[in-house]
Amino acid sequence: MKKFSLFLLFAFALGVFLLLKYFGPWESGSIGGPLIHVYLVAENKTLQMPLEDYLVGVLAAEVPARFEEEALKAQAIAARTYALKKTEAFKDGGNPVHPQGEVCTNPGHCQGWLSSKEMKEKWGWLKYREYERKLQHALRETQGVVAKFQGRLIDPVYHSTCGGRTENGDQVWTHSVPYLTSVSCLLDQEAPKYHGEIAVPLNDFLGRLDLNSNAKSFNASSLRLLAKTETGRVKSISVLGKTFSGGEIRSKFGLNSTNFTWEVTKDAVVFHTTGYGHGVGLCQYGANGMAKNGAKAEEILQHYYQGITLDKMY
């Protein structure tokens, strides 16, 4: 009887713990911050909300919520800086892509964003409660903190997996930025897309490059590497004498990165990729690896964005 009573007590305590973990009031409610107008692309409407509340949805869309706390805090600072940088640009002259608001929910133009409903669909109801609070906690712990270079907000670009080394910003965009320089990153190998492979049927490959008329003359020597970036990514490639940038090939065939090699088979071109994303700035899986090794959010950010400082704006 005594053992049964102890079991009941243990079960009761466990039940209370789970209720508090998943349903309790810890850190609930609005986080605050300045108001921001968010253009919801899929719904073609604009919402006004506090910046920090908006950032919960950004983190939910842009980074795995299971990540280490310091990695989430680093991502929170980067995402906040990104949004405020967009706000500055909006005030200086608007945004022709989405004049309705400072930011939009298209990750190809601004940052991804998930509503509460979408978070529940992504994680399930129980995990939603846990993960939402985890992201809120990262935002509360860094509230108002941004990254600056020489007193100005940086352009805190980020990506999933760099594959061993980040890329120089001027290899992806036309301008050079001092804080977006290549750095070593050897802690992202746990990323699910560290290595990738995609086979493109030969007719499809030539068709997307508008080279179908040359199909009969295509063979393994028809693809030639012309140049690589300093970090080993493909800068330019020749296909049947026509030149394409690594970025064009990545975009046309949905490759994970421009760090790729290829092989030509009888009826396909098979691409092998390392890393996922453009490779510039913060490497999310590398940041999580640093956090696992004890690095704080500030250390993580100052590694991937060289020469920056952190400042609390509000």
- Residue 92 and residue 94: Cα distance in Å, rounded? 6
As beta bridge partners, residue 152 has: 149
**Average pLDDT of 105-118?**
96
Q: Residue 17: its pLDDT value, please?
A: 46
**Average pLDDT of 267-293?**
98
Q: Residue 18: its pLDDT value, please?
A: 46
Q: Residue 25: its pLDDT value, please?
A: 42
Q: Residue 26: its pLDDT value, please?
A: 43
Reported as a single tens digit per residue, the pLDDT across 73-82 is: 999 999 999 9
**Average pLDDT of 241-263?**
97
Reported as a single tens digit per residue, the pLDDT across 200-244 is: 999 999 999 999 887 788 999 999 999 999 999 999 999 999 999
Q: What percent of the chain has pLDDT over 90?
A: 83
- What band does 314 get if pLDDT is binned at 50, 70 and 90? very high
Q: Residue 251: its pLDDT value, please?
A: 97
Reported as a single tens digit per residue, the pLDDT across 38-61 is: 999 999 999 999 999 999 999 999
Residue 177 has pLDDT above 90, yes or no: yes
- Residue 58 and residue 75: Cα distance in Å, rounded? 10
Contact 27, 21 (CB under 8 A): no
Q: Residue 217: its pLDDT value, please?
A: 87
Measured in whole angstroms, how far is the alpha carbon of residue 93 from the centre of its chain?
Answer: 27
- Residue 23 and residue 149: Cα distance in Å, rounded? 41
Q: Which residue has the tokens 């999933």?
A: 160
Between these two residues, 29 and 156, which has the higher pLDDT value?
156
Whole-model pTM: value is 0.89
- The CA-based diameter of the chain, rounded to the nearest angstrom, is 85
**Average pLDDT of 237-264?**
97
Reported as a single tens digit per residue, the pLDDT across 115-159 is: 999 999 999 999 999 999 999 999 999 999 999 999 999 999 999
Kindly report the three-state secondary structure assignment for every residue of the chain: CHHHHHHHHHHHHHHHHHHHHHHCCCCCCCCCCCEEEEEECCCCEEEEEEHHHHHHHHHHHHCCCCCCHHHHHHHHHHHHHHHHHHHHHHHHHCCCCCCCCCEECCCCCCCCCCCHHHHHHHHCHHHHHHHHHHHHHHHHHCCCEEEEECCEECCCCEECECCCECECHHHCCCCCCCCCCCCECCCCCCCCCCEEEEEEEHHHHHHHCCCHHHHHHCCHHHEEEEEECCCCCEEEEEECCEEEEHHHHHHHHCCCCCCEEEEECCCEEEEEEECECCCECEEHHHHHHHHHCCCCHHHHHHHHCCCCEEEECC
Contacts of 93 (CB under 8 A, 6+ apart): none
Q: Residue 215: its pLDDT value, please?
A: 78
Measured in whole angstroms, how far is the alpha carbon of residue 4 from the centre of its chain?
Answer: 50
Q: Are strands 282-283 and 158-159 parallel, antiparallel or unpaired?
A: parallel
Sign, CA dihedral 135-140-141-143, equals positive
- Residue 231 and residue 166: Cα distance in Å, rounded? 8
End-to-end CA distance of the chain: give it in Å, rounded.
Answer: 58
- What band does 280 get if pLDDT is binned at 50, 70 and 90? very high
- Residue 32 and residue 228: Cα distance in Å, rounded? 46
Contact 104, 170 (CB under 8 A): no
Structure tokens at 274: 């390392």
Structure tokens at 136: 């809120």
